[in-house]
């Protein structure tokens, strides 16, 4: 199993490859959308699963469980990016919601995802300079400020802070706090702790959409085929001009 320092370095390399600096918060969804051959799909999954990825040649697909909170979805996308760059021989992988479950590769992907969202130096600089913390322990409010800045789920943030010895309070104590109320009290948006908007329960972004649009533009497919492709990708808005939601009818 790879060391944390190696996974942090890999996360920094991926940031550079995607045109992101080593310290800023990132919009991981936008990075995937703009990746040349990547498709991102939001779809409800069973309660044990966070997402999956499939790789075929130069093309990749990431599917995310849209029932999860926005913060957990961000972590899942970063997790799947690691798998796409360390693809299984079968070219696909299904990943679990519980961050403590899974084999060594799953744990590597979890650690990589954490570093991709918040590289080691970026996290420590934020705590030292933005929160102005020295040796004193982090408070619950500090945890909220960190997870809001870097876009983490609560469990993902606690796992990271615990692994690096930055939090001394039992994780359960912080988990039992009303996250939405706590964030609101500090002036933050609460969307990090809730699932995505209802019209993103079923949704597709990225390469698949661009290719279908290009085929239509070049008259290489019929209007009917274009509509079929878009409806299969849960993009009724591209067919009917409205924000569709839900799987295509059988």
At 73-87, the pLDDT tens digits run 999 999 999 999 886
Task: Check whether 137 has a pLDDT greater than 90.
Answer: no
**70 vs 249 pLDDT, higher one:** 70
pLDDT above 70: percentage of residues in the chain: 92
**178 vs 219 pLDDT, higher one:** 219
Task: Check whether 227 has a pLDDT greater than 80.
Answer: yes
**DSSP notation for the chain:** ---HHHHHHHHHHHHHHTT--SSS---HHHHHHTSTTEEEEEE---TTEEEEEEEETTEEEEEEETTS-HHHHHHHHHHHHHHHHT--TTSEEEEESSTT-S-HHHHHHHHHHHHHHS-HHHHHHIIIIIS--SSSPPPHHHHHHHHHHHT--HHHHHHHHHHTT---S-HHHHHTS-HHHHHHHTT--SGGGSPPPGGGSSEEEEHHHHHHHHHHHTT-S-HHHHHHHHHHTT-HHHHHSS---SPPP-
pLDDT average, residue stretch 171-175: 69
CA–CA distance, 3 with 71 (Å, rounded to integer): 25
Task: Check whether 4 has a pLDDT greater than 50.
Answer: yes
pLDDT single digits (tens) 180-208: 898 999 999 988 998 877 778 999 999 99
pLDDT given for residue 152 in this prediction:
94
Mean pLDDT of the chain: 90
Find out whether 232 and 193 touch, Cβ atoms under 8 Å: no
Could you tell me the strand order of the sheet in which 49-56 lies? 92-96, 49-56, 59-65, 38-43, 203-206
pLDDT-derived band at 234 (thresholds 50, 70, 90) equals very high
Structure tokens at 63: 């599917």
- Which segment of 4-13, 25-34, 41-50, 130-139 scores lowest on mean pLDDT? 130-139
Task: Check whether 242 has a pLDDT greater than 70.
Answer: no
- Pairing assessment for the beta strands 203-206 and 49-56 based on DSSP bridges: unpaired
CA–CA distance, 44 with 242 (Å, rounded to integer): 21
CA–CA distance, 160 with 7 (Å, rounded to integer): 13
Task: Check whether 244 has a pLDDT greater than 60.
Answer: no
pLDDT-derived band at 66 (thresholds 50, 70, 90) equals very high
CA–CA distance, 122 with 119 (Å, rounded to integer): 5
pLDDT given for residue 125 in this prediction:
96
């Amino acid at each position: 199993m790879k060391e944390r320092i190696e996974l942090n370095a890999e996360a920094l390399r991926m940031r550079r490859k995607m045109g992101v600096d080593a310290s800023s918060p990132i919009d991981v969804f936008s990075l995937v959308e703009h990746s040349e051959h990547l498709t991102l799909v939001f779809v409800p999954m069973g309660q044990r699963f966070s997402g999956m990825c499939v790789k075929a040649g130069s093309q990749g697909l990431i599917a995310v469980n849209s029932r999860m909170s926005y913060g957990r979805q961000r972590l899942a996308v970063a997790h799947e990016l690691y798998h796409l760059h360390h693809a299984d021989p079968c070219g696909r992988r299904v990943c679990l919601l519980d961050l403590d479950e899974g084999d060594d590769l799953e744990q590597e992907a979890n650690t990589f995802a954490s570093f991709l969202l918040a590289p080691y130096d970026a996290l420590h600089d934020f705590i030292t300079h933005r929160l102005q913390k020295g040796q004193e322990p982090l408070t619950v409010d500090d945890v909220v400020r960190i997870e809001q800045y870097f876009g983490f789920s609560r469990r993902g943030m606690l796992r990271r802070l615990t692994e690096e010895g930055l939090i001394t309070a039992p994780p359960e104590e912080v988990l039992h706090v009303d996250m939405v109320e706590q964030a609101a009290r500090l002036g933050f948006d609460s969307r990090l702790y809730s699932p995505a908007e209802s019209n993103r329960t079923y949704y597709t972004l990225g390469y698949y959409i661009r290719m279908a649009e290009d085929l239509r533009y070049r008259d290489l497919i019929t209007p009917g085929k274009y509509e079929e492709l878009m409806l299969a990708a849960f993009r009724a808005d591209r067919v009917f001009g409205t924000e569709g939601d839900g799987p295509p009818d059988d």
